[in-house]
Amino acid sequence: MSKLVTIFGGSGFVGRYIARRMAKEGWRVRVAVRNTNEAMFVRPYGVVGQVEPVFCNIRDDASVAAATNGADAVVNCVGVLAETGKNTFTAVQADGASRIARIAAAEGVARMVHISAIGADADADSEYAKTKAAGEAGVLEHMPNAVILRPSIIFGPEDDFFNRFAGMTRLGPVLPVVGADTRFQPVYVDDVAAAAELAVTGAAEPGVYELGGPDTHTFRELMQKMLQVVRRRRLIINIPFWVARVMAAVFWFGQAVSLGIVKSPITKDQVLNLAHDNVVADGAKGLADLDIKPTALDAVLPDYLWRFRPSGQYDAIKESAKNLKT
């Protein structure tokens, strides 16, 4: 019988790419999610019955144990960018990761891969970064041979970064950003999945890998690159951090009094994170150590941001028509 991998958060942005790769390698894939009905799209990644969504709440021991039972490897892709209800940074990124590792060890799972983030630091000023570090510590406590992957900002067709800001270009002539000079090293989602695949199959040595793309850009430069792809001209305005903190507090209050109906576009914790560069540290193991050639932004962004162009899929046709001779 083929080997089984359980991917917690396997229908999410990164998880679905890992699920697809593991199915292609012939593994049985158990996609552990909170809502199985919304994860049914992963089933065609393999033959009938090869990829199956199962219910799991990583805040519950019994739920995690049921999803882990019989697995040869586990991958944890669960994380949150903003806290909602009981899904706090601590509950999900610290306690949840530790719980998965503890139960995986008890179940005799051979390998674990944990998706963390560049900037994970127990002494950080943001709860996001602190709990990412706590999650790593919990994983290594129970699964010392785990592979921990720390990506920079991840880009790809389903991302919530370039898609979000490209969507904002439709709203007006100004594009506001917080931390315009903060540096990032965007990494392609399938490169992260490729690293996870190597870790699951045992082709990657245990340890921490920081994953970044081939190029480093400031936030402003990333927005300029995005604007070139969507063929729009917008004025990029940098919002000072102190102003962003005030805005985040106002948005938080609005979200609280509306009982979540009004969603905050930015949180205080995100502002704190944006004050720090998000690039691979000097001397850190990375994609090169896994023999993975990182994919450049320019090779992928046009493939999915074209829909934000003024004429969408017809933009190239209209441009070509301008060159026709009458």
pLDDT at res. 325: 61
User: How crowded is the C-beta side of 139, counted as CA atoms within 13 Å?
Assistant: 29
pLDDT at 263: 80
Give me 218's structure tokens.
Answer: 């400031």
**Strand pairing partners for 32?**
8, 54
Between the alpha carbon of residue 153 and those of residues 162, 163, 183, the distances in Å are 10, 13, 10
What is the C-alpha to C-alpha distance for residues 245 and 159, in angstroms, rounded to an integer? Answer: 25
- Give the DSSP letter string of 51-63: EEEEE--TT-HHH
Which structure tokens are listed for 227?
A: 């604007």
The closest alpha carbon to 143, from 90, 200, 189, belongs to: 200
CB-based contacts of 281, cutoff 8 Å, min separation 6: 118, 210
What pLDDT does residue 230 have? 96
Indicate the CATH number for domain 4-158+185-213+278-295.
3.40.50.720
- Residue 123: CB atoms within 10 A of its CB come to 7
* Mean pLDDT in consecutive groups of 10 residues from the start of the chain, 326 residues: 94 98 97 96 96 96 97 97 90 97 97 97 96 98 98 97 96 96 98 98 97 97 98 96 94 81 86 96 96 97 96 68 63
- Domain ranges in the chain are 4-158+185-213+278-295
pLDDT of residue 265: 87
